[in-house]
Structure 1
Amino acid sequence: MATEVQVIDSSSVAPSEPTPRKALWLSPLDLVMASRGHTPTVYLYRSHDAASDFFDVARMKTSLAKALVAFYPLAGRVDTDDNGRAQINCNSEGALFVVAHIDRRADDFGHLKPSPELRRLFVPPIEPPSIMLAIQVTFFKGGGVALGMALHHAAIDAMSAFHFIQTWSAFSRDGAAVVELPCHDRALLRARSPPFVHPDTLSVFCPTVTFSETSSGPTTSETFPISHDQLATLKRLCGGGKISTFCAVSALVWQCTCVSRRLPPDAEARLSFPANVRRKTRPPLPDRYFGNAFIWLGATGAARDVASETLASVAGRISGAVRKLDDELVRSAMDHLEITAAETESQRPLKGSMPETELRINSWLGMPVYDADFGWGRPRAMSRAESVRGGFVYLMDVGPEDEGGTCALRVLMCMEAANMSEFERLLYANI
């Protein structure tokens, strides 16, 4: 029998003060993400026995209403302008806020393995789908809370999402907290007029992603810890020096994926990953730019080469793409996306998995993932609630309970269930 949650309350939380009422124009980098829908995440908190007001719902709503004054697009709705282009209608209708109980203990969910069930339990259904932000506070039997959240990708990327959560939690801890205000000027990422796409852009820029609902079997998600010792070994294998953690871990994951999938030797394997452009544009974007400010870069190679090269060589393919990120590449990418905006707007929400030749790695390393103390301590664990698209990987720092221990980071992998055991064997055999 499936576990059920008991919904105690469902309401809308609007900004506590008047906010601008307008249509917020979306940049080309926002538009390409609009069809992705909502990103579901879950935070787990231990109960404080001495705190009679543990996750006081009234306090959570009051602080959310205050945060939504500065982050007012999250209180709006996605719609379209007269030309059919997606925009955010900043109408202050508010965020969905659900309170629920579940007859299970927090420890039953361990380190939060993403799954459709985890999302069903802890992230509220989005109705209507135009809602920008939905939240669910679920109280466990015996204490503890799961904070589930769904943020519409048309509005923000990961950096902006964590900025919002930092602000909301700061207001919950201290109503008079001083916070850094977001920048909502998305025209800073407007395409050029006329647009111009540099001939070299498409050698590293990945403007599209292909999904198929007829994949080679069911997918599954697993999380693999990487210890500090394993990471040190991996970096030595990748040439040491100034190789980044991202490039080293991505090289290992890419190589192990190509081998475990048994790709045809001549097949072109491609790794893609988001690159933050905030410091790459000229002039740079404000540090607290609120929106999507990343483009997808890619590295390619024949499957036989990626599978047989040294890890240093594979890492070099990835770092080579990173080094090409500059203002011209960013501008050309935006111009390309603006030119193809009509095609992007016509896309239905993307479903299915990527081809087995494709791998997409998202890095949350170094981001304030766990900076979400609402006054009752930092979360003991945090993760995506669901990851069902084969070929998607997330690199994440460890949680507060693992800090100071042996684990350096976690690799959240979603791929074909038939290949997962071989991937795990290869992953640890190589480090």
Structure 2
Amino acid sequence: MDVICCATEENESARSSLQLQSTARATSEVEKRMQQSPVQVVSRRIVKPPPRPRERVPLTTWDLSLLSADYIQKGLLFAPPPCFSTFTHLVDHLQAALADAIATYYPVAGRLAIDRHHDDEGHVVGCSVSVDCAGQGVEVLEAVADGVVVADVVPPDADVPSVVRSLFPLNEAVNYDGHERPLFVVQVTQLADGVFVGFVYNHALSDGTAFWNFINAWAEIARARLSSPAPGGGACVLASRTPPLFERWSPDGSGAAAPVVLPYADIEGLIVRPTLPPPPQRDRMLHFSAESLAALKERARQELLAAGDTAGAAAVTSFQALSSLLWRCFVRARRTAPDQEVVFRASANNRGRLRPPLPAEYFGNAINAVSTEAVRASELLARGHGWAAAAVGRAVAAHTDAGIRALAAAWAAKPGLLAFRLFDPNAMFISSSPRFDMYGCDFGWGKALAVRGGKANKYDGKVSLFPGREGGGSIDAEVVLTPEHMLALEQDDEFWAAVSPDVQPATK
């Protein structure tokens, strides 16, 4: 059997073809209705924090490398909240709670500022970027999606519908645009039988860890306002959370980081934006239960033990096992040439890996991409699930304090602004994390029905990991592939044997 291709049996192809036709018909019907029920923004509001002394928060290595990347787009789908008389009343409530949240997380309400630096003779020698914390404000959009129901947003066993992209604003913005656009915009959309809260957040401001800490803080305030409104409508205070740390990390350990002076007079010309319409892509949310992940992990462990790799077997994790499955199945789906070298990459949190570690409340970017060593496609597939899981484990284990500092030094020697814009057709990339407390974001009317992402930062081979709604270690994977590659993945029996049925939560 050819190790590059799979599911070539006639009966398997016929079965898969029928399944795909059914899925395509269901998706097509949803898309038709979406065209008849566009999302309409009915109001825009600027929300500002209380006045405070103006300050600058300098962007450093990890922040600056993201200036060409898209804003973060993540959102939560809820059943209809029973505690509001009107939808506008709900938006008013979220707006008031957000005003309290940005009183603490005040850089979120700022804008990016670019400063030019001169030598003694007045010549420009470079520029730096900071967050200007002057209370410019965040934006809240109120929107209505007439005729769109929860089932249209999260259809079972189908691609993510295009209407989901309409639930997020700033679809064309990159992080560099934060000097003119808000660093945070939220769109609250009323569905026929639910509410979608779409968050759009400038990634140069912070990573996903800090982003979800901020969203959870906002949700905590919203809950408190419902259960025990502040006297006289005053601000609710976050008493249960450690305050965020805005001081940026300095690689030399000398204390607060100074602004990084980039060796460019102007950086606008270095910002990379898509100039052509993106190629067609399909986006699916796939569920992996705790039991399925445990089985993948045990299979990897047994293969490693059989190969004599006891250390690798002892260290294997659910993340490694899921990454191995995705990596190998993507290589098969792409029908990668046997001699072509392929790599696996993932975003890693630097906080606990640094010595001394950064505190959990560090509010900035503290991430790097870790990568396996390149391996020929045929070798990856021939060596199997356990070997690939161990390869991912070695890449993660190698990301130590010394490695992080070496990466920071290399970036400082040759600053780049292209992180996550360097698409590699022979690689895959995993971002986000099932450790983020997405379903803990209860704004006062219960747990979200689902988490969804917008169109930002998506390309062939990109996977975002979310916690499964039922918890217990389950994971949802947002998989993005070209139509051709997704079609091949849908015919991969090894892959679909690990995918679990996604139980749709009731909206009532």
Could you tell me how far apart the structure 1 residues matched to 2:51 and 2:252 are?
28
Q: Structure 1 155/216 Cα, relative in aligned 2: closer, same or farther at 3 Å?
A: closer
Could you tell me how far apart the structure 2 residues matched to 1:377 and 1:139 are?
16
Tell me the residue number matched to 1:165. 215
Whether the 8 Å CA contact 1:122–1:146 is kept in 2: the answer is no
Tell me the residue number matched to 2:287. 225
Q: Structure 1 50/150 Cα, relative in aligned 2: closer, same or farther at 3 Å?
A: closer
Could you tell me how far apart the structure 1 residues matched to 2:252 and 2:152 are?
47
Could you tell me how far apart the structure 1 residues matched to 2:338 and 2:253 are?
39
Counterpart pick for 1:96 among 139, 142, 150: 139
Does residue 182 of structure 1 match 2:252?
A: no
Does residue 152 of structure 1 match 2:202?
A: yes
1:324-366 superposed Cα distances (whole Å, 9 cap, x missing partner): 121111111111122222x42xx5x976x82321110124112
Could you tell me how far apart the structure 1 residues matched to 2:68 and 2:336 are?
29
Q: TM-score, normalised by structure 2?
A: 0.73
1:161-205 superposed Cα distances (whole Å, 9 cap, x missing partner): 10000111111111344222110011445699xxxxxxxxxxxxx
Tell me the residue number matched to 1:47. 80
Does residue 108 of structure 1 match 2:175?
A: no
Specify the code of the residue in structure 1 equivalent to 2:389: A
Shift of 1:118: 1.5
SS, match of residue 56 in structure 2: strand
**Structure showing the higher helix proportion among its residues:** 2
Q: Structure 1 62/430 Cα, relative in aligned 2: closer, same or farther at 3 Å?
A: closer
Shift of 1:2: 4.9
Whether the 8 Å CA contact 1:188–1:285 is kept in 2: the answer is no
Does residue 78 of structure 1 match 2:112?
A: yes
Whether the 8 Å CA contact 2:153–2:161 is kept in 1: the answer is no
1:46-91 superposed Cα distances (whole Å, 9 cap, x missing partner): 0144653676222211111111122111101123121333322222
Specify the code of the residue in structure 2 equivalent to 1:408: S
SS, match of residue 213 in structure 2: helix
Whether the 8 Å CA contact 2:74–2:198 is kept in 1: the answer is yes
Tell me the residue number matched to 1:24. 57
Q: Structure 1 216/367 Cα, relative in aligned 2: closer, same or farther at 3 Å?
A: closer
Could you tell me how far apart the structure 1 residues matched to 2:182 and 2:278 are?
34
Tell me the residue number matched to 1:202. none
- Following superposition of structure 1 onto structure 2, how do residues 20-419 of structure 1 map, counting pairs within 5 Å? 20-49=53-82, 51-52=84-85, 56-82=90-116, 83-103=126-146, 104-110=148-154, 114=160, 117-123=163-169, 130-141=181-192, 143-174=193-224, 175-178=236-239, 179-189=241-251, 218-239=280-301, 241-299=314-372, 300-341=374-415, 343-344=416-417, 354-386=423-455, 388-399=458-469, 402-403=470-471, 408-419=474-485
Q: Structure 1 218/119 Cα, relative in aligned 2: closer, same or farther at 3 Å?
A: closer
298-307 vs 174-183, which moves further: 174-183
Whether the 8 Å CA contact 1:371–1:378 is kept in 2: the answer is yes
SS, match of residue 310 in structure 1: helix
Instruction: List, as ranges, runs of 4+ consecutive aligned residues in structure 1 with deviation greater than 6 Å.
Output: 210-216
48-57 vs 77-86, which moves further: 48-57
Please tell me whether Structure 1 or Structure 2 has the larger radius of gyration of its CA atoms. 2
1:290-335 superposed Cα distances (whole Å, 9 cap, x missing partner): 0110111100211111122121111111101111121111111111
Whether the 8 Å CA contact 2:46–2:137 is kept in 1: the answer is yes
Specify the code of the residue in structure 1 equivalent to 2:284: E
Shift of 1:223: 1.8
Q: Structure 1 111/280 Cα, relative in aligned 2: closer, same or farther at 3 Å?
A: farther
Shift of 1:145: 0.9
Q: Structure 1 350/244 Cα, relative in aligned 2: closer, same or farther at 3 Å?
A: closer
Q: TM-score, normalised by structure 1?
A: 0.85
Unpaired segments of 5 or more residues in structure 1? 193-209
Count of residues in correspondence between the two structures: 404
Could you tell me how far apart the structure 2 residues matched to 1:321 and 1:211 are?
30
Whether the 8 Å CA contact 1:364–1:395 is kept in 2: the answer is yes
Query: Aligned residues: percent identity?
Result: 25
Aligned alpha-carbon RMSD (Å):
2.9
Q: Structure 1 429/71 Cα, relative in aligned 2: closer, same or farther at 3 Å?
A: closer
1:93-112 superposed Cα distances (whole Å, 9 cap, x missing partner): 10011111110223321269
Shift of 1:124: 5.4
Could you tell me how far apart the structure 2 residues matched to 1:241 and 1:53 are?
55
SS, match of residue 286 in structure 1: coil
1:268-308 superposed Cα distances (whole Å, 9 cap, x missing partner): 10111111110111111111000110111100211111122
SS, match of residue 181 in structure 1: coil
